[in-house]
Amino acid sequence: MQQKIERIGESVLSLSEDGRVPFYRFGPGPFGLPGGNKPAPPVAGTEPCGNELCDICRAAGCKQRQKIEAESDGAPCFKVSGMRKISGRARVHGAKNSVLPILAACVLCDSPVHLERVPRLSDTGVSLRILDSLGCTSAFSGSEAVVDASGFCETRIPDRLVREMRSSVIFLGSVAARAGEASLCLPGGCELGARPVDLHLMGLRALGMEIRERGEKLYATHHGLHGAEIALPFPSVGATENILLAAVCADGKTVLRGAAREPEIVDLCRFLRRCGAKIVGEGSPAIYIEGVPKLHGTEYTIMPDRIEAATLLGCAAVTGGKLELDDCAPGAIGSLMTVMRRMGCELEIFRSSVRMMSPARLTGAGLVETAPFPGFPTDAQPVLTAMGCVADGETRVRETIFESRFKHLPELVRMGADIAICGSEAVIRGRRKLRGETLYARDLRGGAALVTAALAAEGESRIYGLSHIDRGYERLEKTLGSLGADIVRIR
């Protein structure tokens, strides 16, 4: 019998009395926060704001949808028959956002790295192809991968691979740190918004890298990296990872303040320590790194994917199901579980597993703001909106991390959802029923939200855009099918 624990870390403690996640303020930042340099979102009705529920954007959104419809003709899709209870027991896969930086870190190791619980995702495949293109060898079987970077010989990261996966920018830190140079094309904007890399570059430059930006290309060189005091104005996950990867073998001590505190950062630091790095403070806003001459290989198990866990809990909750998630790192999904409780779900939390029983009908969540960890994760926001669509009452979701993370909402509206968007806030009034529809996923987590809604809907849905969903979920249809969903992949 596992010991039941109710205190699940700061995640829960970070919520205020009314359960609201406080808006994260970290000094001058990129978000239209005080002192930030990101332009405030346009006032609805004056200029296109990118959310297609707004009148002024509707026409543009429809055109874009027509284009996606045409492109999806004959493409694989999920066929989902809704209103089946998602119930049972599951074990989540390894975390996408953990395995990607860890694979980039393998470049720094002079002997083979054995990884377990590696999720079979298209993004994992892209990372392994990047490693191969750099002269490393890799083998991937079942959920185990072995990477040997002893043959590392190439410092140009191929453009086509960078374009396939925006987070390939985390190879910049490790490749340049190991070889003295690296080049890659700018990952550019993506479906979630502009996504600049200024904080990555600022941190790497502070460690002694010279980085030139020529057109769409980044060229990094150095003649020896040195420790530095770096303060991030916003706790960017990717920038924290890039700085860590460059600092672990730099000469001297680095103090990284304003670091991201996400569980995946903690996982990366644990991995690096197993490879010989000297790091303390991960999980707090200040990380201290003492450079070592080199890293060696190790064996490591990737942490569970907290966003897959959130998605499965959301799918069970919209169908009135009971779900037991084994080995799912409950401390990493504290804020989500607080919101789910507010929506009427009963949750029993154990050291490494969670048992959830959902009510016949969810209650609206009220206001939920996304925030860096330990706040409510932006990656779980789309699934929360799908839950709100079938809840009794109102759910207001304020997105504070990415400016373009509501692209799935027009699809939910097509299913009968009642949603209004005002700038970065979506107001969802729950309906008793959604109806099955033909739907198009335009980003990874938005795709997961469409699957969640389709499971709760009356009738059949077809969900296109599986290339997005496959980036972050290993055979989602198989996992959901094993829990009672009627979902098949049609090729």
- The answer to the question of residue 100 lying near ligand UD1 (CB under 6 A) is yes
Cβ 254 vs Cβ 289: under 8 Å: yes
Residues 19-58, one symbol each (x = binds ligand UD1 by CB under 6 A, - = not), give -----------x----------------------------
Contacts to ligand UD1 from residues 453-482, by CB under 6 A: none
Q: Which residue is catalytic, options 106, 153, 190, 249?
A: 190
| Pick from 199, 257, 201: nearest CA to 228 | 257
Closest distance between ligand UD1 and the C-beta of residue 379, in Å?
5
Nearer to ligand UD1, 80 or 380 (CB): 380
The alpha-carbon radius of gyration of the chain (Å, integer) is 22
- The answer to the question of residue 298 lying near ligand UD1 (CB under 6 A) is no
Q: Is 190 among the catalytic positions?
A: yes
Query: Contacting ligand UD1 (CB under 6 A), which of 145, 199, 318, 487?
Result: 199
- The answer to the question of residue 167 lying near ligand UD1 (CB under 6 A) is yes
Closest distance between ligand UD1 and the C-beta of residue 368, in Å?
15
- The answer to the question of residue 211 lying near ligand UD1 (CB under 6 A) is no
Stretch near ligand UD1 under the rule CB under 6 A, chosen from 61-69, 197-205, 271-279, 424-432? 197-205
- The answer to the question of residue 126 lying near ligand UD1 (CB under 6 A) is no
Query: Contacting ligand UD1 (CB under 6 A), which of 93, 117, 195, 471?
Result: 195
- The answer to the question of residue 125 lying near ligand UD1 (CB under 6 A) is no
- The answer to the question of residue 401 lying near ligand UD1 (CB under 6 A) is yes
Closest distance between ligand UD1 and the C-beta of residue 48, in Å?
19
Contacts to ligand UD1 from residues 220-239, by CB under 6 A: 234, 236-239
Nearer to ligand UD1, 197 or 415 (CB): 197
Closest distance between ligand UD1 and the C-beta of residue 438, in Å?
27
Stretch near ligand UD1 under the rule CB under 6 A, chosen from 145-153, 191-199, 243-251, 296-304? 191-199
- The answer to the question of residue 402 lying near ligand UD1 (CB under 6 A) is yes
- The answer to the question of residue 209 lying near ligand UD1 (CB under 6 A) is no
Closest distance between ligand UD1 and the C-beta of residue 347, in Å?
23
Nearer to ligand UD1, 97 or 155 (CB): 97
Task: Give the binding-site size for ligand UD1 (rule: CB under 6 A).
Answer: 20
Nearer to ligand UD1, 62 or 194 (CB): 194
Cβ 391 vs Cβ 427: under 8 Å: no
CA 169 – CA 213 distance, rounded (Å) = 14
Cβ 317 vs Cβ 339: under 8 Å: no
- The answer to the question of residue 408 lying near ligand UD1 (CB under 6 A) is no
Burial of 75 (0-12, 13-18, 19+ CB in 10 A): middle
Closest distance between ligand UD1 and the C-beta of residue 377, in Å?
6
Q: How far apart are the first and last CA of the chain?
A: 43
Cβ 455 vs Cβ 319: under 8 Å: yes
Q: How many CA atoms lie within 13 A of 391 on its CB side?
A: 30
- The answer to the question of residue 197 lying near ligand UD1 (CB under 6 A) is yes
Nearer to ligand UD1, 203 or 321 (CB): 203
- The answer to the question of residue 337 lying near ligand UD1 (CB under 6 A) is no
The tokens for 331 are 């401390």
Q: Indicate the residue whose CB is closest to ligand UD1.
A: 238
Closest distance between ligand UD1 and the C-beta of residue 211, in Å?
12
| Pick from 428, 325, 347, 442: nearest CA to 384 | 428
**Binding stretches for ligand UD1 (CB under 6 A):** 30, 97, 100, 167, 194-200, 234, 236-239, 378-379, 401-402
Catalytic positions, please? 190
